[in-house]
Amino acid sequence: MSGKISRRRVLRGTLGGMAISVGMPLLDCLLDDNGTALASGRPMPVRFGTWFWGLGYTPSRWVPQKIGADYDLPPEIKSIEPYKHQINVLSNFDVKLDGKPNTAHYAGTIGFRIGTAVDEPDRSQLPTFDVIIADAIGNDTRFKSLEVASTGNNTDSYSRRTVNDVNPGEGSPVQFYTRVFGPDFRDPNTADFKPDPDIMLRLSVLSAIKDQRQSLFQEVGSSDRARLDQYFTSLRQVEQQLQLQLQKPPPAEACKVMGRPTEAPIGYEVGSVQANHRLFAELMAMTLACNQTKVFNVVYSDSRSQLHKPGSTTIHHQYTHEEPIDKELGYQPESAWFAERSMEAWTVFVGALAALKEGDGTLLDHTLVVAHSDTSFAKTHLVQALPVMTAGSAGGRIKTGLHIHGNGDPVTRIGLTAQQVMGLSVERWGGGSMETNQPLTELLA
């Protein structure tokens, strides 16, 4: 059957007497064998996001000594002090490798996010937990989820549906602004709303090829049916998002769109990354306040952390391997410097959410952000005792201002807790020795 399908085949339909066509994804059969309430009465939306930084921490300078409330602030997390009462520190939770290799900068990140250890090369088709959450809560916003990379590199993203379907991170604040607040943006607080004819046309074009979908399924093999199902699912999501844009959005009191940012240098130099991250923090906060998405993923630095100081060619990653531990200080001072900058950036992001008043609280009060890194002690690249924090109370669903010591428990307890807090009916999550049915009940409000 697959021989009947041409690489040039498209799905065709008619719209207003005019022929239209929609392309298809690349299929196996085309390849060779190698191949609180708002004023409107609507409930206040609760958002979920992740925030990532590369190359972990120095254990003695990051992990608080006191467990529970009013935890102490070691040097590397001193910057979070203004928002300490809204941040939880989760220490000593492990990625369990189950005999699989500790693929540097990858095993910890993906193991944490998909809930099971990965092989090398990774062939796991499991989605990251942010995607699972987006599938549950992200269908009534213009964007199901949004990803940004402060490094400027859109491949610096750790959100994925499958190993081959990664959500790319927007690397330019200007482009991100244009994507969200450009011509397709509809101000939820405007009194005058008229459906955009262009959006109506785009929706009709997608609907016009529905009749050919089912027949196409009969012409391809099982692997291509799975790929087509994923493709059509994405088309349905686009249709849903376009349909939303044809309806007047509910008012959003905190939505006050900032001006278009100016172009700035992009790259791995620390100053550029910090400047772009600050813009992304402000833009993402406003994106959430304007109800353009409920799910987001922010990357401050990549898992290999190619960040470097101005005028230097030595990157953070190189320091973690080559810098000796200072005998007097007891740690690597250059590596620690980068870790401190990472936590300062995390504080900036939390502050951007806390700055927006929404309902009887702030945007942060109606959000849950999970921040984590790919490794614990950067010099050894271990995936045990991963550094994790959460910020925000998810609309009062979780407690904040606590230090929880994991005692070597699987890090999946955090992912399971996040899913349950966001309303998912999931009692158990993870694979192998990381499978768990124990959420962090001490965090649940």
- Nearest by Cα to 369 from 110, 171, 140, 87: 87
Of the pLDDT bands very low, low, confident and very high (cuts 50, 70, 90), residue 26 is very low
Counting Cβ atoms within 10 Å, is residue 431 exposed (0-12), middle (13-18) or buried (19+)?
middle
Supply the Cα-derived Rg of the chain in whole angstroms. 23
Residue 18: which H helix or E strand, with range? strand 18-23
Amino acid at 429: W
pLDDT, greater one: 258 or 294? 294
What are the tokens at 199?
């959006």
Residue 195's pLDDT is 63
pLDDT tens-digit series, residues 360-389? 899 999 999 999 999 999 899 999 999 999
Q: Give the integer Cα–Cα distance in Å for 38 and 289.
A: 12
The pairing of beta strand 10-15 with beta strand 18-23:
antiparallel
Look at residues 301, 339, 302, 340 and name the one whose alpha carbon lies nearest to residue 320. 339
Of residues 149 and 183, more confidence is placed in 149
42-60 burial, b if ≥16 CB within 10 A, otherwise e?
Answer: eeebbbbbbbbbbbbbbbe
Q: Residue 287 pLDDT > 70, yes or no? A: yes
Amino acid at 265: P
Domains of the chain: 1-35+194-247 (no CATH), 47-191+266-434 (3.40.720)
Mean pLDDT of 185-210: 65
d(CA 242, CA 421): 29
Cis check: omega of the bond before 121, within 30 degrees of 0: yes
| pLDDT above 80: residue 32 | no
| C-alpha to C-alpha distance for 79 and 272, rounded to whole angstroms | 20
Give the pair of three-digit tokens for residue 160: 């994925």
Reported residue count of the chain is: 445
Strands (E), 85-207: 87-94, 146-149, 160-162, 165-166
Q: Backbone dihedral region of 317: left (phi > 0), alpha (psi from -120 to 50 degrees) or beta?
A: alpha
- The residue whose two tokens read 């120095």 is 58
Q: Tens of pLDDT along 299-331?
A: 999 999 999 999 999 999 999 999 999 999 999
Rama region for 385: left / alpha / beta (φ>0; ψ in -120 to 50; rest): left
Phi/psi for 238 (5° steps) reads: -60, -45
pLDDT by residue (tens digit) across 198-255? Answer: 655 565 655 666 666 667 767 777 767 766 766 666 666 666 666 665 666 666 778 9
What's the whole-number mean pLDDT along residues 429-442? 98
pLDDT at 327: 95
**Summary mean pLDDT of the chain:** 87
- Edge-first strand order for the sheet with 402-410 is 68-69, 402-410, 87-94, 386-391, 367-372, 47-52, 295-299, 146-149
Structure tokens at 107: 């095993």
Average pLDDT of span 342-357: 98
- 3-state SS, residue 32: coil
pLDDT at 353: 98
How do residues 119-177 score in pLDDT, each as one tens digit? 988 989 999 999 999 999 999 899 999 999 999 999 999 999 999 999 999 999 999 99
